[in-house]
Chain A
Amino acid sequence: MKKLLGLLAGTALAANVAFADDSTLTIAYNVSLPSWDATVGVSAVNPTIQSIYKSVYDQYIDQNPDLSFRPGLLTEWGWNEDRSKVFMEVREGASWHNGDPVTPADVVWSLERAGKEETGNPIQFLWSTLGNFTVDGNRIEADVLRFDPTIFKWMAFLTAYVLPKDYYTEVGAEGFEKAPIGSGPYMVDEYVANSFVRLKRYDEYWGGAPEFETVIFKFLPDASARVAEVETGASDITLEIPYEEYDRLAAKDGLNGVTTPVSDIGMIFINDVGVMEDANVRKAAAHAINKDLIVDRLLRGYGVPIDTLQAPEYAAFTAETTVAYDPEMSKELLAASGYSPDNPVKFKIQTTRGFKPKDYEMIQAVAGMWKRVGIEAEIEVYEIAKHFDLRARDALAPAAFYNWGNSIGDPSTSTGFSMFGPSPHSTWDTDDVDAMIGPLWGEEDEDARIAGYQKVDAYIAENAMVIPLLQFVQPIIYRDGLSVTPHVANFLLPQNVSSN
């Protein structure tokens, strides 16, 4: 038996030594990349895929790990005095992976293409707010056809990637899918759909060649497989694993862990139908939830309780707006509407199961807390596609759990789109909230815009029109000898990983 164990240990060690290769970084990644066009289709708006896109392509504007903005392929940007024009300065010295220089023509073509309806860019409504582009040297100017104060923030967000005009035009959409090139720190070397992508360092990258010569993203949607990959040394790093496994692996010799709160929150959408039109019911539901307890007990402390749709890293966050945990107040509010634990108010709550960490368990806990004050919630599990469909048709249940990502941290892309009635993503449709949010879409004064959203958030919290629960925390496990800088935008970027 001892011999057998010794043999096994020896084999394990040999295997780990075999996998160790300082020039290669292998990432056990949680999602698969279906398409290489980062500007069109389902993948383009999938936040979890952006890490791979950001390794291969450059965005117009980039973000630091704390969400602050920094130059990407644009080095300067802004509006003129009366906001009728924008200007953008294109970086010199950037080149495509085929060696051709990145030019202002590439940037203009990418923006114009994104703004055309026939291209199918899901953010076309925003990109089409710019038009009549002119180029002078490296400076681009464009007319503001419709003013949007967040246009430059969006240039660091979904679909905001610069693609090579000449190459794309030459090879076409299908040709580009098969042999994509970008101007980012890594080049695509081999891609096997649903299995892996192997990237090679781009030595001519304008930001300096990244450390690892080869980066492999293995697509492993199964969390147990990702855990096994890092534990056996087959992968150097992984993310999005259960917190129990994170704690176990982080304590293990040869492995390290880092966690960071990310731009993704868990919330309960409230639909203004039936009993939810009663403010007492909504407020009672909000005050009855002990978010600290949920984070501590269910998420092992990996979460940040929140009371508005703004996480602490977001532009409109303020610690002044809070919703107290007060079950006695919940009972009083319900009593005022004729409800009690013996005569509970009843409604349905929908939730995903296994899509986010402990999502179903969280809603079970919430239902338990509600029951104590006089709310009887019937839990219904739905899948992601159904959630999107119901949300778009404004047909969600009176309460529905889901998550909301916002990697640019702007209040328009959190409170704005999720609470403004005409938005297809809003389940709350009332004139009072719409009247508050409406003018902020075109507000030119940034300070006033942010302050306006803070006021809206306070109003929404006071009237419990949505129940924000927590900010999610991203767990990352990596092997000894590596140093990882986590990104609040939920990215795991190989260019942010280095050897010690």
Chain B
Amino acid sequence: MARLLVTIGSIFLTLLGVSVVIFVILRLVPGDPISMMLPPGATDEVRANLERLYGLDKSIPAQYVIWLRNVAWLDFGMSTQFRLPVMEIILDRLPATLELVLLASLIALVLAFAFSILAVWLQVDSATLAIDGLAGLAQAIPDFLWALIFILAVTLFAPMMPISGRFDPRTAQDFATNFYLLESLVTFRFDAFAELMRYAVLPALALSLPLAAGITRVLKGALEEAMAQDYVMLAQTKGKSRLAIVLGEALRNAMIPTIALTSVQLTFLIGGTVLIERQFSWPGIGSTAISAVINRDLPLIQGIVLVFALIFILINLASNELYRAADPRLRTER
């Protein structure tokens, strides 16, 4: 119970710190939203009026106090760009991003586990070299460049693959939630799921490749290290096959560093959605974030940063729990 309270308290403190930093930085960097919306001919009076309307005429501490007071009631303000409540915008678009991140993570994990296990199981130099080379290539190219490569590849080789949006804009969608992929799965609408996957696969793949490469390197190294341990030799003397030893003995121990890396990389993956969503017109929180920054939509930027911070914190907490579950020593230390 005490641990839970400490955790909740630290979450609040972290979010408070993040909110102060982002609030102050946004107001100190050049470029304010009023300048962006001043048309030719706007007078100083027009500027003053707009500043008053958007609450920017007060001091930064006063603005922060007002904002924080409203946030306590879950009112994050109105987006100056979308002219809708910030929380409504975030809740509307977050599902698209979460589904994209989830899919990218799944792809990354499947690829990483498959290649790592394959390399350790086969023990063939050429295969190891090829897997290391592929991992190096996938990691060296950033996700947004993978996106460009995929867009180019579609143009040349697969024009039937969509490169924009989350679904065919010619068709109407009748989902009850904004978790389209998940909803289509749980309602057994596999045709809709397949169609949605067609739109999701390229952005998810672009996001996942650098992550897959990173996990592959760590997991493969950890597996190789585990395979040199005494208990593996013991298992070999018992006549177990190499694949069974990799899967049954080494993998569990190799998971610990992999979980640590994956959780860190996952946060980068979420950050990566900002560019990937824009490139593929994916209507998530990432593309919303970039347009909010371009248009200096201060309330929306603040809201999105807080949500991102919360997600990062939750991922770290989840990875800690996974770490404890994977490593028995951590469970018995307290």
A positions within 8 Å CB-CB of B: 8, 11-12, 14-16, 18, 21, 24, 26, 28, 32, 34-35, 37, 40-45, 117-118, 120, 122-126, 158-159, 173-174, 177-178, 190, 192-196, 198, 214, 216, 218-222, 224-225, 227-229, 231-234, 383-386, 388-392, 406, 412-413, 416-418, 422-425
Contact = CB atoms under 8 A, between A and B. Distances in A.
Contacts of B319: none
A388 B151 contact: no
A42 B281 contact: no
Contact of A120 (B44, B53, B284, B287): B53
A231 B169 contact: no
Nearest to A159: B39
B40, B84, B89, B283, most chain A CB atoms within 10 A? B40
17 contacts: A14-B160, A34-B295, A42-B33, A122-B37, A123-B39, A125-B45, A125-B46, A192-B166, A195-B282, A227-B155, A229-B164, A233-B159, A385-B296, A386-B30, A388-B35, A392-B38, A392-B47
A37 B158 CA distance: 39
Nearest to A173: B83
B281 A389 contact: no
Nearest to B155: A228
Contacts of B42: 122-123, 125, 424-425
Given A194-B277, A195-B282, A228 B37 contact: no
Contacts of A174: 83-85
B30 A389 contact: yes
A221 B81 contact: no
Interface in B270-303: 277-284, 287-288, 291, 294-297
A196 to B, nearest CB: 4
A24 B169 CA distance: 11
B34 to A, nearest CB: 8
A315 to B, nearest CB: 15
B38 A122 contact: yes
Given A194-B288, A228-B152, A425-B41, 19 more contacts: A15-B160, A26-B169, A42-B37, A45-B39, A120-B53, A196-B165, A196-B169, A196-B281, A216-B169, A218-B164, A220-B164, A222-B278, A224-B148, A231-B155, A385-B30, A385-B36, A388-B36, A389-B31, A418-B40
Contact of B38 (A24, A194, A418, A424): A424
Contacts of B30: 385-386, 389-390
B40 A225 contact: no
Across the A-B interface, the 10 shortest Cβ-Cβ residue pairs: A385-B31, A232-B159, A15-B160, A417-B40, A195-B283, A388-B35, A196-B169, A194-B287, A34-B81, A15-B159
B22 interface: no
A473 B46 CA distance: 32
Given A120-B50, A388-B35, A194 B169 contact: no
Contact of A424 (B44, B278, B284, B291): B44
A231 B158 CA distance: 11
Contacts of A158: 39
Contacts of A123: 39, 41-42
A26 B171 CA distance: 13
B82 interface: yes
Contacts of A234: 159, 162-164
A225 B159 contact: no
Nearest to B173: A190
B92 to A, nearest CB: 8
B160 to A, nearest CB: 4
A44 B297 CA distance: 14
B172 interface: yes
A22 to B, nearest CB: 13
A384 B31 CA distance: 8
B42, B85, B287, most chain A CB atoms within 10 A? B42
Nearest to A383: B31
Contacts of A413: 40-41
A124 B83 contact: no
Contacts of A390: 30
A35 B164 contact: no
Nearest to B44: A424
A424 B43 contact: yes
Given A34-B81, A234-B163, A225 B281 contact: yes
Interface in B159-191: 159-160, 162-166, 169-170, 172
A222 B155 CA distance: 15
Contact of A224 (B32, B41, B152, B170): B152
Contacts of B31: 383-386, 388-389
Nearest to B88: A174
A214 B168 CA distance: 13
A174 B160 CA distance: 38
Nearest to B40: A417
A14, A43, A122, A416, most chain B CB atoms within 10 A? A122
Nearest to B41: A417
Contacts of A11: 158-160
Nearest to B281: A195
B148 A118 contact: no
Contacts of B89: 193
Nearest to B293: A385
A24 B165 contact: no
B169 A218 contact: yes
Contacts of A159: 39
B36 A42 contact: yes
B80 A229 contact: no
Contacts of A12: 159-160
B81 A35 contact: yes
B93 interface: yes
A390 B165 CA distance: 36
Interface in B293-331: 294-297
B73 interface: no
